[in-house]
Structure 1
């Protein structure tokens, strides 16, 4: 299933949306809203405009939560995960409520929507590259996320159609080079990790060469990450590992970009993770324009 057949907003608990909305609003208006006195509480209608043609819409639950907290109503013209129009400006939603409240929520809501849609758009573009090449593995994000904003960014990956990888340190055991160095060996690190995580968590080991990857597979790692391998070295290592350990998942990571992604596709690579999904990812250009007052009761 894809984000177009699932209502992904259901994965976010309502109390989480309320908490985030209040946190963003408190950060933006810690004391006084001086400009609020200029507009008052007259009911207005504002149109959400997208000025980045062909973008994927993501972050609607967060955008709506901000305005709901302020007593405003959001009516969406497009739905989460849809590709917006190719016109220079696409009307995406309508916000109704007291003028000062609409303007109070404008920037926090737009910041979230722009970042979220940017990530979903990049994910969809990467996914299209994989589909064009008929590669059947999974693309994945990483933990290289913005502090305090990981939930939004991970959610945006789902909307864009790629895997989140692990959400945080408790989602899966990832033994990186520093873990191995501190433990003494890959085998020891895997044994120690398994003794505490049990059968319910997968163990992944970051490996810098083929010998380390083979040691990790022998030690019982569920996933072997081939980190910073050149495409040629990756394909050779993945083939050899799959021949010896067919049940071990092979992940490629490190230095993969939208331009170089296709070089890493292989029938023996199950996962490709990309930090560029969140790092240096362009945002989508949204604006909110008040278009008039609503008739007063």
Structure 2
């Protein structure tokens, strides 16, 4: 599959990614041509370069990186041959070769930073997600992202979470409801807020209810909620709420959120919650160090 087909198979819109790539390339070319490359390299000089991992981690965004190279080459009127060594989701160690690109060296170097910016950012998200999931090994809990994403990168960042072994929360404001404390305050109670959403949008819409006390969790369960976010609760309280759900006779899923860290992930996951929500997966993930080396 080419890079567009790979994006489509991953549930991403190739046209949206193309638009993102073109805007990212335009940032580098806004002030004119690549003056450094133009001055130092013969436009006819050809060669091969490798994208190489400088640190251990997990990959995400390889098809996008290929798209950067192909789209820039097409705009520049040249051809670049790209060979992928490791696909998205692969674990890399320092020295691992991710992909190689051959063709005019000026084109490779001009596209280098845009390609690496995207690939390093998304691989950083996948790497951090993988670390959280590894900390919870031995439990059935899964790490989930939030809507705390870099503006314009939500679909790609959430894709990177999947590459890292995590699962996605809602993509936007319309594909699922999340009843938070302000909604509860405005509606008057947890039950009233939940009922209002169900009355307005029916039973098919996924609805999650955020609570911060055991009594609110009990109220949400009684109202019919089947997905409850337990906000800023210590492990003993998480266990109490999970027990309430099991005692209800219905399948109620629970998600822990707030004040979590990698160090506490295993303890929280062991309480029986189904998900752990981590906004840091997308808003604070360090980039994975990847570089481009000319042979």
TM-score relative to the length of structure 2: 0.88
Is the contact between residue 136 and residue 267 of structure 1 (CA under 8 Å) also seen in structure 2?
no
Question: Quick check: 1:113 aligned with 2:119?
Answer: yes
Structure 1 residue 238 displacement after superposition: 1.5
Structure 1 CA distance for aligned equivalents of residues 270 and 247 of structure 2: 14
Structure 1 residue 44 displacement after superposition: 2.9
What whole-Å deviation, never above 9, does each CA across 1:155-188 have from its counterpart, x for those lacking one?
1001011101111112210011111112222222
User: 1:75-224 alignment to 2 at 5 Å?
Assistant: 75-85=83-93, 88-131=94-137, 134-224=138-228
Structure 1 CA distance for aligned equivalents of residues 85 and 34 of structure 2: 32
User: 1:261-280 alignment to 2 at 5 Å?
Assistant: 261-266=265-270, 268-280=272-284
SS of corresponding position for 2:203:
coil
Question: Quick check: 1:255 aligned with 2:259?
Answer: yes
Between Structure 1 and Structure 2, which shows a larger proportion of helix residues?
2
Is the contact between residue 7 and residue 14 of structure 2 (CA under 8 Å) also seen in structure 1?
no
Is the contact between residue 51 and residue 89 of structure 1 (CA under 8 Å) also seen in structure 2?
yes
SS of corresponding position for 1:100:
helix
Structure 1 CA distance for aligned equivalents of residues 203 and 250 of structure 2: 19
Structure 2 residue runs of 5 or longer lacking an equivalent are 1-5, 74-79
Number of aligned residues: 280
Structure 1 CA distance for aligned equivalents of residues 63 and 175 of structure 2: 24
Question: Quick check: 1:44 aligned with 2:47?
Answer: yes
Structure 1 CA distance for aligned equivalents of residues 34 and 55 of structure 2: 31
Partner residue in 1 for 2:66: 64
Is the contact between residue 217 and residue 245 of structure 1 (CA under 8 Å) also seen in structure 2?
no
Please report the RMSD computed on the Cα atoms of aligned residues, expressed in angstroms: 1.9
Structure 2 CA distance for aligned equivalents of residues 178 and 104 of structure 1: 48
SS of corresponding position for 1:70:
helix
Structure 1 CA distance for aligned equivalents of residues 133 and 20 of structure 2: 29
Partner residue in 1 for 2:18: 18
Structure 1 CA distance for aligned equivalents of residues 270 and 206 of structure 2: 23
Structure 2 CA distance for aligned equivalents of residues 197 and 268 of structure 1: 30
